[in-house]
A and B are shown apart, each in its own frame.
Chain A
């Protein structure tokens, strides 16, 4: 017995002497593995996202031939142009209106789908999500054809009601309406799916409790559904705001910014100036104006997401 104790004592001492090096080895192994597993991700983000983002700031300070440093010259030039302010205004109108109607329609449709028997919900949900699944470049072509000046299927239909013909894409106001309409059509199903998932996560007992407390359907929505879904509504709307604000496909294909640059938003105008007009620094400057709005939305989303993470 006493022997054993002595032996153990020695073992302990031996272990102490060994400890620091081997412990470091263990840690080293784990973090080395982690490093190699994340290395491709880090490289990708650093080289193809972060670097270009910083590089575009540098580009924005050069002149058109990219040989001279002009500081804020490009920005000052933009501030003096009416088209630029029109783009700012249209981008904001476009994004805010589209997101609002996407959220509204998404919420309403989600409610109706949630209302019908569970058996049929899958079918309806599947059908209503189709606009989101079709690549927007493809579906916008269909809209372009629906809006076609001479063969518009909409105008054909409206003529039976004595309306029209409407110059969908040629008239200032109607063109702005049309790009928003197509964007709402494309994005509302996404909201619908998100809200539907959120609606399903509200426990039935809450509605039953509210019904016993004498709430009508409107009060149930206002006092139960909306508060329970607040987080998901906020996140979806902010996320959509970013995507809508940075939209390119729909406006590019539908109007190319016309008529008379009236429907240009940041992305399409940056493309026109930077790529088609070969003024890369000016194009970079235009797209940089998206950053403040994107940053604000991103901060709010991040706050929400990390809050969620802490709860979990």
Chain B
């Protein structure tokens, strides 16, 4: 400022004050410039942070999250107390999404729709001092994004209302948000649809995977029981492919008369007719005729109206279990039989072995008491008979034991010579009886020689033992027939015969049809055991008073 030299003191003072005023006023002008620069800085900052928003918005996966981000950026960028963002569908006039809880939403709704600003988070009594709202609807979309920046009266003093430029920036921001909303909403809808499809496909794949990979056979049938689909396991189990059985009922090709008990089949039919779940064990036939066992579970499938649409049958092959069960049952029966025989054996041993011993003991006592008397010879003969009987019993037991313990050992030998020798030996027991051998076929056989010897000796000795006396015409005939694969021997006598009431027990252990003679009751039992062991057959026909015919056939 130019100050002339010739001023009075008053004029100089005034000039000084003017200068002073201009300096301080310059400060306010400078501050205005600083404020303008700050405003430009802030606008630049808004642009920069809008880029940050875009970067973050790209990472957002759903609309509410984007709206939360939008509202937070509104507060941060435009320095307002509250930001609110919502998406509505103008066609259906519904709220699609926002970022608020229920109570806040109600307040915000009042604000947005009626522009009656109410501060969210309070009791609703505090109105907004000002707000700025912007809406944006994407072309060809029914979605409208509404964004509001607001400040309550309580806090109004600390916030500056939007300038025209700031309001323009705000609208620009809202416009830039709208495409994200549209894209995310569309993406979410597509993802939802894809997810629905994926879940549906996944479910189908799972079911298909289960049906095709399970080891159980699966049958899908219509409400009338006609097969519509079977899985690979069904084909593997039964031998029937889908083409073989399409339209058939399972019972048409898996069942045969008498294969299952009537009650089981009736239960199955009754449950199917009543559209109820049912589980039964069945014996079926494979395509090759081989029987197999299944556990069948049938489930009816209903549509939403509860109409029957399908039966799903799942059949689990339980053949192995059934066979094992049968084997166990056979073993059980065998064990039961053995136990019964053991009981009988123990009883007989105690009786038959002890009886001769007691006889021997008694006879020996008599010998001691009557030493030197003539009766001793009688006693000694009786002792000899008891010992013989005991020896015979023990021999029989040994034969039984050997047959039970030892494996079958077939050897080739001349059966005719063997039979002749045996007959010759046994004829000594009853020299009065005529023994005849009728032979047909080969003489050499391949059999278990030891077992055949025991078998033949028992049968022939019985025939001799219970035959008529020689003078009465007693006769024993052995008819032997040797064929390629088997050997049959028929031994007949015309002796006392066996009563009808004994015939079904003559092969039981220690059973004696008569008390005549010195039999142990083991002979025919052992014969039966031997024939069974050799997979042959044994039969006895007898008529009391006429004689007996015993016949066995052995494979070779």
Q: Decide whether A and B are members of one complex.
A: no
Q: A-side interface residues toward B, CB under 8 Å?
A: none
Q: Which residues of B contact A (CB under 8 A)?
A: none
